[in-house]
Amino acid sequence: MGDILRSVAWHVATWLVCVLIGGCMTTIFPGADEALAEDWPDGACEDTSRRDAPKTIVSKDILTFSVHFAWNDEVGHSQNGIFVPDAWQPYPQGIWFMSLEKRKHSAVFTIRCDEGNLQIAGEVPLAELTALQKLLEEHHLAKLNGHSKRDSALGEVLDLVVVYASGERITAHASGGSATMPENWSALWFLDFFAGLAKSAGIWPIANE
């Protein structure tokens, strides 16, 4: 009888040790297998924004302005509160780049849209830089300064750089899904502004009136 009791006690003790070890492992590494099996979730957003970037600009003297963005509104857009379907869209879909740079007696601009087979450049009066500054102030673009987000979704891109004579700058970056875009941002502001520059220079090739 003694041998039987000792055997039973040994098996019970062994079982308890196994349970305790297993429990400890589960506690130390909760969900370890699942974590290793899962990839970073689609659409995950990385925020590298500079929280301390100034949100106001004192200078009004723009030296250079450049903006690079995706215009891919596939279902239409709102213009002055009115929905505009794709069939009436005034600008080609694609990746756009626009710049305006101060020179001694004038300003030079460039407009490029590879998908739309569009590449033009021209010269306009310095007063157009003043008009651009008014546009930035109207839409509070300085509040975008320091914005920098990206995610794994497709569709959006934004690179904005404004350099002032004072040394002040506005920079903003976004890539990925629409969730990474700043709230107070619209590509139409700059599509319309730069189309106006090209029209005033007599070199706008798109019939969008």
User: Per the domain annotation, does 90 fall within a domain?
Assistant: yes
Is there a single domain that holds both residue 123 and residue 171? yes
User: What is the overall mean pLDDT for the chain?
Assistant: 74
What domain count does the chain have?
Answer: 2
User: Per the domain annotation, does 74 fall within a domain?
Assistant: yes
Is there a single domain that holds both residue 30 and residue 54? no
Is there a single domain that holds both residue 85 and residue 129? yes
As a whole number of angstroms, the distance between CA 15 and CA 98 comes to: 72
Angle between helices 187-200 and 127-138 (to 10 degrees): 160
User: Per the domain annotation, does 120 fall within a domain?
Assistant: yes
Model pLDDT for residues 180-202, shown as the tens digit of each residue: 667 778 888 999 999 999 999 99
CB neighbour class for 206 (10 Å; exposed up to 12, middle 13-18, buried from 19): middle
Model pLDDT for residues 23-65, shown as the tens digit of each residue: 433 332 333 333 333 443 445 666 655 666 667 789 999 999 9
Distances, alpha carbon 186 to alpha carbons 32, 148, 155, in Å: 43, 16, 15
Alpha-carbon torsion, ordered 51, 53, 57, 58, to 10 deg:
120
Is there a single domain that holds both residue 60 and residue 30? no
CB neighbour class for 116 (10 Å; exposed up to 12, middle 13-18, buried from 19): middle
Look-up: residue for tokens 């098996």?
11
CB neighbour class for 190 (10 Å; exposed up to 12, middle 13-18, buried from 19): buried
Is there a single domain that holds both residue 32 and residue 63? no
Q: Is the overall model pTM greater than 0.85, yes or no?
A: no
- The pLDDT value given to residue 63: 98
% of the chain with per-residue pLDDT over 90: 37
User: Per the domain annotation, does 205 fall within a domain?
Assistant: no
Is there a single domain that holds both residue 116 and residue 172? yes
User: Per the domain annotation, does 139 fall within a domain?
Assistant: yes
User: Per the domain annotation, does 127 fall within a domain?
Assistant: yes
Is there a single domain that holds both residue 8 and residue 105? no
User: Per the domain annotation, does 206 fall within a domain?
Assistant: no
Is there a single domain that holds both residue 51 and residue 32? no
24: containing domain: 2-37
Is there a single domain that holds both residue 158 and residue 184? yes
User: Per the domain annotation, does 185 fall within a domain?
Assistant: yes
CB atoms under 10 Å from CB of 106, counted, come to 15
Is there a single domain that holds both residue 195 and residue 138? yes
Is there a single domain that holds both residue 60 and residue 143? yes
111: three-class secondary structure by DSSP: strand
Is there a single domain that holds both residue 120 and residue 17? no
Continuous H helices in 100-184:
127-138
